[in-house]
């Protein structure tokens, strides 16, 4: 047996893992205003360190192999950067994302108000289809226990029907939770999708109609609640 066939034999003899145990790959895109801590959060999550300064114009992709709720997963995380000059690129990222981590800073009300822009971008780009999102209020170490900025974030997340996580990239608080919640949202929506596309029973059809109605009403509520606050 030559080396080539030996290699093939070894590869062929790998026992296939059950579907639930296979490492799935998800692409997560981190979005938010400049300075809210997107890079600090991403680098803390992937490399376990806090960076005091990160070039705000740098857009980088990181990979992390991990296990969430006992299911292995490979995450590719895109830390976005830049403003209008890369708007087109940002649209492309949103289109290709499996999940979004939408970040604002608890210390900067403008960064919260500008979530409106991101909500509109997501809506338009994904054509009202459900997108797994987690809303993150960062720089928790700089604010009091519970403050108005957090309450606004929780309310908005409630309207969007997505989880809210308060984080401190500096102290590594809530960081794992934010990304884990994003993966849970991806999995949850995949389950809904599977149930509605494969299954054509009356229950599945009802679920599909309900979820389309829900997406439309959530999208209307986000717009209403953000425009009320402006």
**Which positions lie near ligand GDP, rule CB under 6 A?**
32, 34-40, 52-54, 56, 138-139, 141-142, 168-170
Q: Which does 133 bind (CB under 5 to 8 A by kind): Mg ion, ligand GDP, none?
A: none
Q: Minimal CB distance to Mg ion: which residue?
A: 39
Q: Is 44 in the site for Mg ion (CB under 5 A)?
A: no
Q: Is 39 in the site for Mg ion (CB under 5 A)?
A: yes
Q: Which does 107 bind (CB under 5 to 8 A by kind): Mg ion, ligand GDP, none?
A: none
Between 83 and 203, CB nearer to ligand GDP? 83
Q: Which does 170 bind (CB under 5 to 8 A by kind): ligand GDP, Mg ion, none?
A: ligand GDP
Phi first, then psi: what are they for 24, rounded to 5°? -85, 155
How many other C-beta atoms are found inside a 10 Å radius of the C-beta of residue 132?
23
Query: In angstroms, what is the minimal distance from the CB of 5 to ligand GDP?
Result: 50
Beta bridge partners of 29: 78, 100
Between 73 and 104, CB nearer to ligand GDP? 104
CA distances from 24 to 35, 65, 218 (A): 31, 10, 29
Relative to beta strand 71-79, strand 60-68 is: antiparallel
- The label of the residue with tokens 């959060």 reads 41
CA distances from 106 to 85, 86, 152 (A): 26, 25, 10
Q: Which does 142 bind (CB under 5 to 8 A by kind): ligand GDP, Mg ion, none?
A: ligand GDP
């Amino acid at each position: 047996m030559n080396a080539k066939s030996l290699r093939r034999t070894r590869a062929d003899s790998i026992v296939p893992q059950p579907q639930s145990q296979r490492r799935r790959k998800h692409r997560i895109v981190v979005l938010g205003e400049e300075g809210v801590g997107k890079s600090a959060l991403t680098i803390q999550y992937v490399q376990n360190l806090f960076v005091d300064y990160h070039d705000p114009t740098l857009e980088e992709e990181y990979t992390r192999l991990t296990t969430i709720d006992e299911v292995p997963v490979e995450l590719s995380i895109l830390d976005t950067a830049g403003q209008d000059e890369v708007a087109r690129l940002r649209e492309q990222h949103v289109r290709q994302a499996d999940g979004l981590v939408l970040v604002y800073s608890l210390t900067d009300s403008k960064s919260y108000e500008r979530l409106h822009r991101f909500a509109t971008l997501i809506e338009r780009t994904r054509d009202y289809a459900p997108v797994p999102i987690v809303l993150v209020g960062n720089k928790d170490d700089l604010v009091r226990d519970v403050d108005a900025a957090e309450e606004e974030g929780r309310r908005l997340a409630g309207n969007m029907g997505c989880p809210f996580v308060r984080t401190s990239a500096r102290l590594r608080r809530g960081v794992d939770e934010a990304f884990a919640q994003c993966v849970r949202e991806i999995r949850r929506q995949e389950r809904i999708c599977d149930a509605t596309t494969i299954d054509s029973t009356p229950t599945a059809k009802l679920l599909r109609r309900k979820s389309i109605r829900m997406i439309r009403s959530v999208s209307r509520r986000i717009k209403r609640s953000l425009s009320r606050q402006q």
